[in-house]
Amino acid sequence: MRYNLKWNTTGVEIKITGIVTSNEINLLNGKIIGSPHFERIRYQLWDFSDVKVFENTPEDAVEVASLDRMASRWNPKCQIVLINTNIEFANYLDAYTKEISDIGWECSIFKTVEEGMASLNRLSLV
């Protein structure tokens, strides 16, 4: 998995490419949560649109969601924007969204970065 991580004033944008495993997502998620910037961000935009292969199951999403459940104690209001065009990965993202539905973080899935950014603009988060 390759990724590009971009921090800005109100959030973090993550572009992921290549072959993605659940372990790699967990490690990257931990890096974001462990950052000194994490407590002040209002959104995370995860762009999976250029991923070639997803080696993840919906059960793996529960593990990522449990880390985010703990992280929501330090940052209780964070908008999660997921960009995905791969039907195979949709089940993973749906499971993740369901698992975090009760922690106070809003989570939305879009097909393009432009759609995701537009939703963040409407909420004045960008």
**Distance in angstroms (rounded) separating the CA atoms of residues 119 and 21:** 28
Residue 96 pLDDT > 90: yes
Q: How many domains does the chain have?
A: 1
Q: What is the CATH number of the domain that holds 29?
A: 3.30.750.24
CA–CA separation, 5 and 28 (whole Å): 9
pTM above 0.85, yes or no: yes
Q: Which residues contact 122 (CB under 8 A, 6 or more apart)?
A: none
| Full residue range of the structural domain in which residue 7 is found | 2-122
Phi first, then psi: give them for residue 92, nearest 5 degrees: -60, -50
DSSP state of 111: S
Nearest-angstrom CA–CA distance, 91 and 111: 14
Q: What ranges in the chain are assigned the alpha helix state H? A: 22-33, 58-71, 87-99, 113-122
- What's the rounded mean pLDDT across residues 36-43? 96
Calculate the average pLDDT of the chain: 93
